[in-house]
Amino acid sequence: MVGQLRQARTAFVAAPIGRILSVLVLLVIVYVIFVLLTRIFDRGGGYFLQILIFGVANGAIYALVALGYTMVYGIIELINFAHGDLFTLGGFISLFLLPIVGADASKAGTAAIILPLIIVFLATMAICGAINVTIERVAYRPLRHAPRVAPLITAIGMSFILEGLMFLWKGPFNLPYPNLLPTASFTIAEATIHLRDIFVIVIAVVLMIVLSIFVSRSSLGKAMRATAQDQDATELMGIDINRTIAATFFIGAVLAGAGGTIFGLYYNTLVFDLGFSAGLFAFTAAVFGGIGNIQGAALGGLVIGIIIAFSDGYFESAWTQVVIFGILILVLVFRPTGLLGMRVPEK
Amino acid sequence: MQRRWYTAGSIIAGLAMIATACTGGTGGGGGGATSGEIIIASNQPTSGGDASDGLPAQNGIQFAVESKGTIKGFKLTFKGWDDTVNGTHDPQKGAQNIQEMIADAKILGMVGPNNSNVARAQIPIANRASFAMISAANTNECLTQTFDYCEKDTGSTPAKLRPNGTNNYFRIAAADTFQGPAAADFAVDTLKATKVAVWSDNETFGKGVADKFTAELVEKGGTVVARQDFDTKVTNDWKPFLTDAKNKGAQAIYAGATSGTKICIPRAQMKGILDVPYMVPDGGVNSQCIKDAADNAANMYGTVAAADANQNPDAKATIDAFTKRFPKKEDVGSYTFPAMDCANILIDAIGRAIDANGGKMPTREQVVKAVSETKAFKGTTGTYTFDKNGDPTSPTMAIFQTKGTDWAFVKQFGVGG
């Protein structure tokens, strides 16, 4: 008996520290999940549904931004740091366009707002696309065969330039964004669901489905996937690589522009450096889902949005970033390619 | 190729020289103290997210200097410094500013800063140079008073901030030991709200004032139903917290933050979730907060750690003259007239220091001594005497509430003393 105990102790002491730590981490995770479940049970289903809706709406916006990161990375393996700022720029441009097309608060929530909003969405998306294509032409294309770190630095530079321009344009303040969406709501199981929550989710899902169909069915989508696999072979097949890459930047920015407009309409506020934090979370979402993978980015955005809402609603906001990046590290340790796997060709 | 590099190099060198010349110009050259000019410096966040507080305060200081013009034969000049970096007030920039001020021998004192964490960086540097500082808006109690939690919460004590042992820092604002509790008293006694949800940003001021609010609320028999700290740089969505507050029966929300940390953004998000009063400290009593609250700006209450000049009939002429010089609505804020009073206290002290020095340019030590001897100085917002810590002996708290798109005065009362 004593011998057995001693043997067990020796084995325990001799066990690699890594294994002990893994067990500790596992215990912490089990404990956190247990606490979360008891709190969810205590607070009831209505509250759960309410928090879930907030999380999905927030996550849908992150997903739209994450798609731009993932598409650009998928095709030229560049982390486009300027993408988060393009998202903010989309919000700024739409804010500028709203009064021009006559979308003011007096029409909020009525049918008269629908047409101006569609015009603003389309114009913002087109302008953002054009800006991103220009950025690609000026700052990334000349460096396509340069060492990896060079376009990375020009991307960071572009991010600061865009932020600086927005700062000069509108100043450092939080900008009020008109509240144009209907304020109506309905109640399901004690949860109040606003039409604006549904609006955000529906628009984001529609855009993502359109993108997904486009990439898998259209010839340009095929060209993109081919370029991502092998640029030289694609070029030999007579596909214009420059045009294909420019198109990828255009589509990514179109989604960012839509995301910025949705953010403004949903939260009714914008600030020039919003893109830094939003971009960081969206990029995390892209890695979460498996960078280069379009469905992965959508899923990653949704998961991050829900984690933020649950952490804020059931624990404390002060813990939110710890929780997000803790989960990210865990997922990457066990699945280095992200939830749905990377779609980046081996080179 | 080589020539291109050479050209680029010379352009950069040229730019560097221009930049150096410019900073040399604004920083002041030092020396030449007998030219008969005295400069009053100001240090405020005049370009960042806090500019809605900083610019109105700077206007007050500039107005005081301009309308005084001269003191005992010396010409008075105003010179403003901005402590903003990347859109927010920055302690390191504040430290750099005060070094520039000290380097200019014509500058005999500074009015500011606006934010307590900037003051904490500036006081030791100014103290070594015996350079007088008077702030209208700093409210952190640990800047002047010693409590056992100061070291832990702020990393410094009044003694540590003053390495040469003689106090050089004065303020006319009421410390946070009064502000948080004043809001809690108002919540319980006037708004009849005993169940309150409290959130704060992750800064010394916001968290501190929220904790003091909480302590007083509990003391008065109230309860805090929800309490959260937010990293406001990455938070856009307060709705989960607000829903939590609603489900727990909150009768009011208290926000410990400033306009630079999105203090009134959650107010806009409360629409459609819960309709209860929203209370803010002085960092939110400004035009930015009302803009951020959008169409939900009604029913907000704020505390200001200084008296309202509009309640003083003797100040009417000064206020009218100020409005003529700075006519825009956003030119004036809750700390415009307190900051003007600080500038006038400094000018008055410089006048006495000149007398003490036989009509000659006084030393900075003489100015600090004269400020500390300020007795019953009549300003637009009150009558000021400093205690040995540099605090006003009879500070005032004022309470405001939103009316339309403006903050309207509710009441004010003396605290402490």
Tell me the per-residue pLDDT of B175-229, one tens digit each, with 9 for 90 and over. Answer: 988 999 999 999 999 999 999 999 999 887 898 899 999 999 999 999 999 999 9
Alpha carbon of A162 to those of A127, A157, A173: distances in Å? Answer: 14, 9, 16
Nearest neighbour of A54 by CB, restricted to B240, B268, B271: B240
Final residue in a domain of this structure, among B237, B270, B304: B304
Q: Got the DSSP string for A192-254?
A: EEEHHHHHHHHHHHHHHHHHHHHHHHSHHHHHHHHHHH-HHHHHHTT--HHHHHHHHHHHHHH
- For residue B20, tell me if it sits in a domain: no
B289 and chain A in contact, CB less than 8 A: no
Which residues in chain A touch residue B272, judged by CB atoms under 8 angstroms apart?
A: 183, 185, 192, 194
Whether B135 and B43 share a structural domain: yes
pLDDT at residue B7 greater than cutoff 70: no
Residue with tokens 């400290």: B281
Q: What is chain B's percent helix, strand, coil content, to nearest 5?
A: 45, 20, 35
Cα separation of B351 and B188, whole Å?
46
Whether B130 and B166 have beta carbons less than 8 Å apart is answered as: yes
Tell whether B300 and B358 lie within a shared domain: no
- Torsion region of B359: left, alpha or beta (phi above 0 gives left; psi -120 to 50 gives alpha): left
* Residues of chain B found within 8 Å of residue A174, distances taken between Cβ atoms: 49, 259, 262, 265, 288, 291-292
CATH class of A57-334: mainly alpha
B367 assigned to some structural domain: yes
**What's the complex ipTM?**
0.81
Q: What is the pTM of this model?
A: 0.82
Which of A85-89, A188-192, A313-317, B335-339 bottoms out in mean pLDDT, i.e. has the lowest? A188-192
A184 touches chain B (CB under 8 A): no
- On chain B, the residues whose CB falls within 8 A of the CB of A269 are 265, 268, 292, 294
pLDDT at B17: 47
Picking from B47, B207, B237 by the largest number of A CB atoms within 10 A of its own CB, the best residue to mutate is B237
Determine the pLDDT at residue B131.
Answer: 97
Contact A312 B295 (CB under 8 A): no
Residue of B nearest to A313 (CA): B240
- Which residues, 6+ apart, have CB-to-CB distance to B18 below 8 Å? none
Q: How far apart are CA B177 and CA B416, in angstroms?
A: 10
Chain B residues with CB under 8 Å of A320 CB are: 231, 235
Q: Which domain holds residue B284?
A: 176-304
Which residues does chain B have within 8 Å of residue A194's beta carbon, measured at their own beta carbons? 272
Q: Please check whether residues B233 and B325 belong to one and the same domain.
A: no
Same domain, B143 and B79: yes
Reported as a pLDDT band with limits 50, 70 and 90, residue B21 is: very low
Q: Please provide the average confidence, as pLDDT, over all residues in chain A.
A: 89
Question: Which amino acid, B79?
Answer: K
Q: Is A316 on the interface with B (CB under 8 A)?
A: yes
Rounded Cα–Cα distance for residues B157 and B173 (Å) = 19
Predicted confidence at residue B33, as pLDDT, reads 42
Residue A218: pLDDT over 50: yes
Cα nearest neighbour of A177 on chain B? B294
Average pLDDT over residues A110-115: 86
The arithmetic mean of pLDDT across residues A87-98, rounded, is 96
**A residues 28-47 lying closer than 8 A (beta carbon) to B:** 43, 47
| Region B157-161 average pLDDT | 93
User: Can you give the CATH number for the domain in which B82 is found?
Assistant: 3.40.50.2300
What is the rounded average pLDDT of the residues B91-105?
95
Backbone angles phi, psi at B333, to 5 degrees: -140, -175
B169 and B182 fall within a common domain: no
Pick from B251, B276, B304: which residue ends a domain? B304
User: Residue A206 and residue A219: Cα distance in Å, rounded?
Assistant: 21
- Between strands A185-188 and A269-270, the pairing is unpaired
B372-to-B109, B205, B366 alpha-carbon distances in Å = 13, 26, 10
**pLDDT of A291:** 87
The pLDDT assigned to B50 comes to: 83
* Domain layout of chain A by residue ranges: 57-334
Same domain, B245 and B378: no
pLDDT band of A13, cuts 50, 70, 90: low
Residues B278 and B319 placed together within one structural domain of the fold: no
Residue A12 CA, distance from chain mean position? 44
What percent of chain A is predicted at pLDDT more than 90? 53
Tally of domains within chain B: 2
Measuring CA to CA, how many Å separate B14 from each of A80, B7, B9, B18, B45?
Answer: 33, 10, 9, 6, 30
The confidence band for B62, taking pLDDT boundaries of 50, 70 and 90, is very high
Residues composing chain B: 417
Q: How far is the alpha carbon of A234 from chain B, nearest alpha carbon, in Å?
A: 35
Q: What whole-number percentage of chain B has pLDDT above 70?
A: 91
Give yes or no for residue B25 having a pLDDT over 70. no
Nearest alpha carbon to residue A76 among A223, A245, A216: A245
> What does the pLDDT read at residue B85?
87
My answer on whether B209 and B219 are in the same domain is: yes
Q: Which of residues 273-292 of A touch B (CB under 8 A)?
A: 273-274, 277-278, 280-281
The predicted-structure confidence for A124-158, as pLDDT tens digits, reads as follows: 999 999 999 999 999 999 998 899 899 999 999 99
DSSP of B54-99, one letter per residue?
A: HHHHHHHHHHHHHHH-EETTEEEEEEEEE-EETTEE-HHHHHHHHH
